[in-house]
Amino acid sequence: MKFKILLVICLTALIAGQAAASTVLIISARDNTLYQAATGTTNSNGAGEHFFAGRTDDGYIRRGIIAFNITNFIPPGSTITGVTLTLNMSRTRDRSEDITLHRVLANWGEGTSNAAQEEGRGIQAAPGDATWYHRFYPTSFWAAPGGDFRATASATTTVSDREGLFSWSSTDLVADVQLWLNNPGMNFGWLVRGGEGTIKTARRFDTREVATASLRPVLQVSFISAAALGACCVPDGSCVTVTSNQCTQLSGVYHGDNTSCTPSPCPPPIGACCLPTGDCTNATALQCSALGGTFQGNGTVCTSNLCPVILTPFVDALPVPAPLQPVTGSVGGAAYYEVPMQQVQQKLHRDLPLTTVWAYGTAFPGPLIEATVEQPVTVKWINNLRDGNGNFRTNHYLAVDTCLHGPDHHGDKPLTVVHLHGGKVAPKDDGYPEETFLPGQSRTNQYGNVQPPGTIWFHDHALGITRLNVYMGLAGLYLIRDSLENSLGLPAGANEVPLVIQDRKFRTDGSLYYPAMWDEHFFGDTLIVNGKVWPYLIVKRGKYRFRVVNGSSSRTYALALSSGAAFHQIGTDAGLLEAPVPLSQLTLMPGERADLVMDFAPYTAGTQLFLTNSAPAPYPGTPGVGVIPNVMKFIVTNTVGHTAALPASLRPVARLQESNAVVHRDLILRKGNDPCTGSAWLINDLHWDDITEFPVLGTTEVWSFINRSGVAHPMHLHLVLMQILDRQPFIVSNEVIVTTGPRVSPPANEAGWKDTVRANPGEIIRVIARFDGFPGRYPYHCHILEHEDHEMMRQFEVVLPPIFTGIQRLGSDIQLNFRPTPNRFHFLQRQDDVFNGSWTIFTNNIFGSGSNTSVTDPGGAAQPKRFYRIGLSP
Ligand code: C2O
Ligand code: CU
Ligand code: CU
């Protein structure tokens, strides 16, 4: 991709006679990456927005290469007096690194290859591209693989763990530019080298193709010119100080010798201007701001999706999902359902064209499944995602970032798998992130509903693309009830309404916008509830039970009523609280649910109230930053609704006792490095396949999430229901966690059954859970979907306790056979008198490798009686 070289003159000062000192800023004319890889790989990224320097995790080196057109801007015969190269580092690592510039000794090219989202690995080179082996693919080669360059660095700068602009300047750079001015045929630019001695050093820089002009590589050159210079207006509207000849070469208009660019004599350039209405018009920057618009940059043009969509709130009624009808069985009872996942066109706002979404069934969010405790439900989930021609999709609708685990193997396939979040189910029915299936395939899952009633939900869980599948719409509500709850007289029927809250970003054509490259968070600019943008609900003068689900990717909500009135929380993620808790504000992180009762009886007919949000994004963030203040509107009618008082007590919540916990685990949450995306959020610095948590079936454990990152993480465990024990503040001093305050019990509205808990930054949150139900592997993860998709998800494995399988005499010894607990250490104890003796350990540290194990008690057969027992080391 070729485009005009942009440049601006900073300063012009006249020196006696015709000689002038001047400074130019020159944007790179070519830039690329030389990608080392397995032999025979010839990747490049000529037209990409980034280049790389350093060594990646897989051990391979990347070298940036960059060149500037010197003679276009600096008159022949000039003396170079200063050179500074400035690069924007857009992804970094958690330590500093020296980045060196080396003069390149042979010519090289920039072709049209564009690795797009996975630039860290490049893509097959296009003709004319530089590669690790080629100067110009596929015909010319470097003398040595990795590029021909001067071994001595021309300049060195240490880049830090902070992204941003970094500069290089030195007398060697001045000499390089002087050389290129005097001998343009030798100007091949610089090679940009990072730390190549160790792995995991690679950094990413922006190229001349990056969208934001101020982030492109820029070379500032100061020089004294022998020839006369003057202001030259180039076609993009900027002013450059060059010679008359150079101005002609740049297709500019020369304003005469010794004319100045300050102030600029050039007519202001026009560009696209986004108006407050969401419309786009061409204007100068000044005209645009006079219109209250946002100027998109010099030379930009209005395209159909350039400007943000502006939607009027509260013009659509809140959709209330109806209970799904089963194929056999009854709604709310034992039943068999079939649910197709389908690509459908859905109207999300009065003024928005139809949006392509993925629905469980016919609309998103998916249908409501009604269930009752101990009445089993079976669902056949059918991946029926088809393209516009009715064929099974072979790729995702959204761009897939193949840096992430999952897509790195499967590419952009539209894989799905359904997880019942909050359901206590066997591993085979849990919707395992790796057990995905394609369009045309299905999975049948059994949900026993052997658990307390609760507001649970189902959503997609495909490894590395969960955020994309849920964003497309794959989420739905699953309510479990029982007779006790039904007898409480809570608002029901039309007075019980689910509210699934999500954030989205739209293009003007109605399509969903989601970034192609993984980012740490995604925050939409528009809220939808039950699939409508900022809807309204007409309410009777009475109480409503709202089952609120935060189904967003990254966004936390702090919900309140605009009247300031209190409401009651009656249930948490997985069931009723002991008693209603009055609240004026409720914080809900992604994945969390709340069962709320709001009373509209006190308002006169016609009153309008708003459900508001004040949570910053990211959370907890800075007050006011990133907030979308409105969620939905309630309009009160004069019909009388549910006016019965709330019961004073709801359901006892049996407290799990810390003294019953057999294992305490510490799980540190913090950001780490990633070779492809730059960063990833991690749990104990480990990844999905590193399994280190092996709770024993039926035992109780305490898990402490120690949040060493700057943001809150909603931590979710599959299989179990948790209780929050407490939260405690801490600081890190010399890498040691030092608590700075007491352990504080959770507030009353969090003192119920939870499956997703808010781990605040700078706090240790302790949760307690009993690992019962089923043995096997389950995920646990942060429910910020961007985090879950990129390594903040690991597995625990519920294992069976060890058991003796046989005992026999072997001469004078006794041999004991047992089935060990996998991945745990065992000790064996013996004694001769169970009533008066004491147990002694006779063998220790036997690792359960997975197969049956024998242990010998030497001389044991000589005893008249001997008793044995086996235990697990903590
Ligand atoms: Cu709602 Cu493992 O997720
Ligand atoms: Cu879950
Ligand atoms: Cu997180």
Nearest to 726 by CA among 701, 695, 709, 704: 704
Atom of ligand 1 nearest to the CA of 718: 2
Which protein residue has the closest C-alpha to ligand 1 atom 3? 421
Q: Which ligand is nearest to the CA of 788?
A: 3
pLDDT at 415 over 90: yes
CA distance 437 to 418: 10
Between the alpha carbon of residue 768 and those of residues 240, 660, 702, 800, the distances in Å are: 67, 10, 4, 19
Taking the alpha carbons at both ends of the chain, their separation in whole angstroms is 61
Mean pLDDT computed over 349-357: 95
* Centroid of ligand 1 to alpha carbon of 323 (angstroms): 22
At 12, is the pLDDT very low, low, confident or very high (cuts 50, 70, 90)?
very low
pLDDT at 530 over 90: yes
DSSP-assigned states of every residue in 786-799: HHHTTT-EEEEEEB
* Centroid of ligand 1 to alpha carbon of 421 (angstroms): 5
Q: Which ligand is nearest to the CA of 715?
A: 3
Question: What pLDDT, on a 0 to 100 scale, did the predictor assign at position 9?
Answer: 38
The tens digit of pLDDT for each residue in 114-155 reads 987 668 889 999 999 999 999 999 999 999 999 999 999 999
Is 739:730 a contact under the CB 8 Å cutoff? Answer: yes
Between the alpha carbon of residue 593 and those of residues 146, 374, 616, 656, 749, the distances in Å are: 54, 22, 19, 21, 11
Percentage of the chain lying above the pLDDT 90 cut: 74
Question: What pLDDT, on a 0 to 100 scale, did the predictor assign at position 551?
Answer: 98
Question: What pLDDT, on a 0 to 100 scale, did the predictor assign at position 674?
Answer: 85
Q: Which residue do the tokens 């070729």 mark?
A: 2
Q: Return the CA Rg of the chain.
A: 33
Q: Is the dihedral of CA 393, 398, 402, 406 positive or negative?
A: negative
Mean pLDDT computed over 342-364: 96
- CA 189, distance to chain mean position in Å, is 37
Which protein residue has the closest C-alpha to ligand 1 atom 1? 421
Q: Which ligand is nearest to the CA of 758?
A: 3
In sequence order, what are the beta bridge partners of 99? 157
Question: What pLDDT, on a 0 to 100 scale, did the predictor assign at position 19?
Answer: 62
Question: What pLDDT, on a 0 to 100 scale, did the predictor assign at position 16?
Answer: 36
Question: What pLDDT, on a 0 to 100 scale, did the predictor assign at position 180?
Answer: 96
* Centroid of ligand 1 to alpha carbon of 465 (angstroms): 13
Atom of ligand 1 nearest to the CA of 421: 1
More confident residue, 298 or 486: 486
pLDDT at 263 over 90: no
CA distance 842 to 429: 42
Mean pLDDT computed over 405-410: 93
Residue 493 burial (CB < 10 Å; 0-12/13-18/19+)?
A: exposed
Query: DSSP E strands: which ranges in 522-676?
Result: 526-529, 532-533, 536-541, 543-550, 557-561, 567-572, 575-583, 586-588, 593-599, 608-613, 630-640, 661-674
Mean pLDDT computed over 627-631: 96
Question: What pLDDT, on a 0 to 100 scale, did the predictor assign at position 865?
Answer: 84
Q: Which ligand is nearest to the CA of 457?
A: 1
Between the alpha carbon of residue 205 and those of residues 399, 501, 518, 698, 854, the distances in Å are: 22, 37, 16, 51, 58
Between the alpha carbon of residue 134 and those of residues 208, 490, 513, 831, the distances in Å are: 21, 73, 38, 75
SS (H, E, C) 287-336: HHHHCCCEECCCCCCCCCCCCCCCCCCCCCECCCCCECCCCEECCCCCEE
- CA 293, distance to chain mean position in Å, is 31
Is 315:349 a contact under the CB 8 Å cutoff? Answer: yes
CA distance 523 to 505: 8
The tens digit of pLDDT for each residue in 442-474 reads 999 999 999 999 999 999 999 999 999 999 999
* Centroid of ligand 3 to alpha carbon of 518 (angstroms): 14
* Centroid of ligand 2 to alpha carbon of 542 (angstroms): 34
* Centroid of ligand 2 to alpha carbon of 259 (angstroms): 69
Q: Which ligand is nearest to the CA of 760?
A: 3
At 851, is the pLDDT very low, low, confident or very high (cuts 50, 70, 90)?
confident
pLDDT at 198 over 90: no
The tens digit of pLDDT for each residue in 480-514 reads 999 999 999 999 999 999 999 999 999 888 999 99
Atom of ligand 1 nearest to the CA of 459: 1
* Centroid of ligand 3 to alpha carbon of 37 (angstroms): 32
Q: Is the dihedral of CA 859, 863, 869, 874 positive or negative?
A: negative
Question: What pLDDT, on a 0 to 100 scale, did the predictor assign at position 701?
Answer: 98
CA distance 541 to 147: 76
Residues with CB under 6 A from ligand 1: 419, 421, 459, 461, 591, 716, 718, 779, 781, 783
Q: Which amino acid is at 195?
A: G
Q: Which residues surround ligand 3, an ion (CB under 5 A)?
A: 713, 782, 784, 787, 792
SS (H, E, C) 104-145: ECCCCCCCCCCCHHHHHHCEECCCCCCCCCEEECCCEECCCC
Is 112:264 a contact under the CB 8 Å cutoff? Answer: no
At 14, is the pLDDT very low, low, confident or very high (cuts 50, 70, 90)?
very low
As given in the structure block, the two tokens for residue 293 are 């618009």
Q: Which ligand is nearest to the CA of 554?
A: 3
* Centroid of ligand 1 to alpha carbon of 716 (angstroms): 7
At 675, is the pLDDT very low, low, confident or very high (cuts 50, 70, 90)?
confident
As given in the structure block, the two tokens for residue 763 are 């706090």
At 704, is the pLDDT very low, low, confident or very high (cuts 50, 70, 90)?
very high
pLDDT at 729 over 50: yes
Q: Determine if the peptide bond prior to 675 is cis (ω within 30°).
A: no
Complete edge-to-edge strand list for the sheet that includes strand 418-421: 369-372, 475-481, 454-460, 418-421
* Centroid of ligand 2 to alpha carbon of 45 (angstroms): 39
Mean pLDDT lowest for which of 83-87, 240-244, 579-583, 799-803? 240-244
Question: What pLDDT, on a 0 to 100 scale, did the predictor assign at position 359?
Answer: 97
Of 136-140, 334-338, 832-836, 870-874, the range with the highest mean pLDDT is 334-338
Nearest to 818 by CA among 840, 850, 842, 845: 850
pLDDT at 862 over 90: no
CA atoms within 13 A on the CB side of 718: 28
pLDDT at 237 over 90: no
Task: Provide CB contacts within 8 A for 151, sequence distance 6+.
Answer: 102
Is 771:798 a contact under the CB 8 Å cutoff? Answer: yes
Q: Which ligand is nearest to the CA of 474?
A: 1
Q: Which residue do the tokens 């104990």 mark?
A: 684
pLDDT at 304 over 90: no
CA distance 636 to 638: 7
* Centroid of ligand 2 to alpha carbon of 419 (angstroms): 6
Atom of ligand 1 nearest to the CA of 756: 1
* Centroid of ligand 3 to alpha carbon of 360 (angstroms): 26
Question: What pLDDT, on a 0 to 100 scale, did the predictor assign at position 848?
Answer: 87
* Centroid of ligand 1 to alpha carbon of 468 (angstroms): 14
Task: Provide CB contacts within 8 A for 680, sequence distance 6+.
Answer: 671, 672, 673, 674, 790, 791, 792
DSSP-assigned states of every residue in 149-172: B-SS-SEEEEE-SS-EEEEEE-HH
At 15, is the pLDDT very low, low, confident or very high (cuts 50, 70, 90)?
very low
Q: Which residues surround ligand 2, an ion (CB under 5 A)?
A: 421, 718
